[in-house]
Chain A
Amino acid sequence: MSVLRPLDKQPGLNTATILLVGTEDALLQQLADSMLKEDCASELRVHLARSLPLPSSVDRPRIDLIVFVVNLHSKYSLRNVEESLHYVDATFFLGKAAFLATGAGRESHCSVHRNTIMKLAHTYRSPLFFCDLEIEGFRATMAQRLVRMLQICAGHVPGVSALNLLSLLRSSETLAPEDL
């Protein structure tokens, strides 16, 4: 199956799986390591992928959160992510997908404008995070945030669902794209 669906498999017991999609292998690996270092009561599984669709030969658990990593320094990564978005089911965007833009710190190297990625996130109604994954401190903070989000999306936090979190995150964000 080429299209990822959120609830087509049974959830693993006490397991939460995140899928990081992006072209920057080194950054993804570093982010994965930071996330695994985080203190978390559930078992974390981090999958990395260059682009979708994923090969169906591999037996993988249910994916709870997809993070699309876009490097603002390269247009190729943006195009890669845009093409991968076609292989994700629409129900994923009810809180189980997020965008992460890296490299915004060095404005001179940015070839993708900030507003482009903001429009993309706005179209898909998903939260957008800006984080310089090269800097250790920011990466650790981002990893912490992603771990918390992952726990909520996997259903490990009673009382909060992914959609709930999405509407909570939305209220502070929707102002920015309307100003464009």
Chain B
Amino acid sequence: MEMQPREQAATESPDSGGGEGRPPQVAGAQEARPEDRLTLLLRLKAQTKQQLLEYKSMLDASEEKTPEQIMQDKQIEAKIEDLENEIEEVKTAFEIKRLALHRMQLSAALKKNLEKINPQTSVLMDNMKHILKLNKLIMKSQQESWDLEEKLLDVRKKRLQLKQASESKLLEIQTEKNKQKDDLAIMENSDKIKTVQQNLQTEIQVTTVIQHVFQNLILGSKANWAEDSAFKEIVLQLEKNLTMIK
């Protein structure tokens, strides 16, 4: 150490003898002092008890032999963490036991209280009845909400099913349409229709030729075809263009 380590001390006397934060009393301090002394003594007793407990626990701890072997850092860390976890577990177990004990004490006191007083008229019974009513209400509303959720689920399932059914139907329709189109295309390209169409064409041509022949016959005969109605009809019919009918 290069420099002398300096040390300073500062002290403070208590504001009031065991007052624990109470405001200092100017008048009437005489009567207050014995009470202060009593609280001070009680507090000192609690302190000394706690300090004694600490010393005892240190003694117990030092009796346990610590392993002297040289361990690696990681192992030491792991051991320390194990010990810390042990402390936590002991603490939680203690807390749980204390809770259980409190609960037992509470129920025992309650039982004694109930035996003493008239059970019909006490506020406690009113409270308990109110609690029971509320619990029933809670259970009922929970049941209702569960039912509603079930219904919702059912509706959703049905909707899903309908959607799937409509999907399949649409798919069917589409395949049918495609098949029809294919069939139509096939039919149009088939040879039978082609030959039929060709025959039709030839027949039309033949008929047109016959029409022209008759037309020229009638015109060449120089007969008056406008006079006779039947004759006129025949001539007009010959004028009809057959390619338009197709």
Contact = CB atoms under 8 A, between A and B. Distances in A.
13 contacts: A7-B58, A14-B47, A39-B21, A44-B11, A45-B11, A48-B9, A48-B10, A49-B7, A54-B5, A55-B4, A155-B51, A161-B54, A171-B88
Contacts of B44: 13-14
B10 A158 contact: no
A53 B46 CA distance: 33
Bin the interface of chain B by size: 35 or more
A36 B8 contact: no
A162 B87 CA distance: 13
A58 interface: yes
Interface string A150-176: 000011111101111001001100000
A52 B8 contact: no
B47 A51 contact: no
B5 A48 contact: no
A51 B11 CA distance: 20
Interface size class of A (residues with CB under 8 A): 35 or more
A26 interface: no
B14 interface: yes
Interface in B63-118: 80, 84, 87-88, 91
A103 interface: no
Contact of A55 (B5, B19, B55, B87): B5
A41 B12 contact: no
A11 B9 contact: no
B53 A161 contact: yes
Nearest to A14: B44
Given A41-B18, A42-B14, A155 B50 contact: yes
B165 to A, nearest CB: 54
A11 B52 CA distance: 10
A161 B12 contact: no
A100 B20 CA distance: 28
A70 interface: no
Contact of B5 (A14, A32, A52, A159): A52
Interface string A20-44: 0000000000001100100111111
Given A40-B14, A41-B21, 17 more contacts: A7-B54, A41-B43, A43-B13, A47-B9, A47-B10, A50-B5, A52-B5, A53-B1, A53-B5, A54-B7, A55-B7, A155-B47, A155-B50, A156-B50, A161-B54, A164-B91, A167-B87
Interface of A: 7, 11, 13-14, 32-33, 36, 39-55, 58, 60, 91, 125, 154-159, 161-164, 167, 170-171
B3 interface: yes
A31 B53 CA distance: 31
Contact of B7 (A14, A48, A125, A167): A48
A47 B12 contact: no
B10 A36 contact: yes
Contacts of B51: 11, 154-155
B192 interface: no
Contacts of B46: 158
B246 interface: no
B222 interface: no
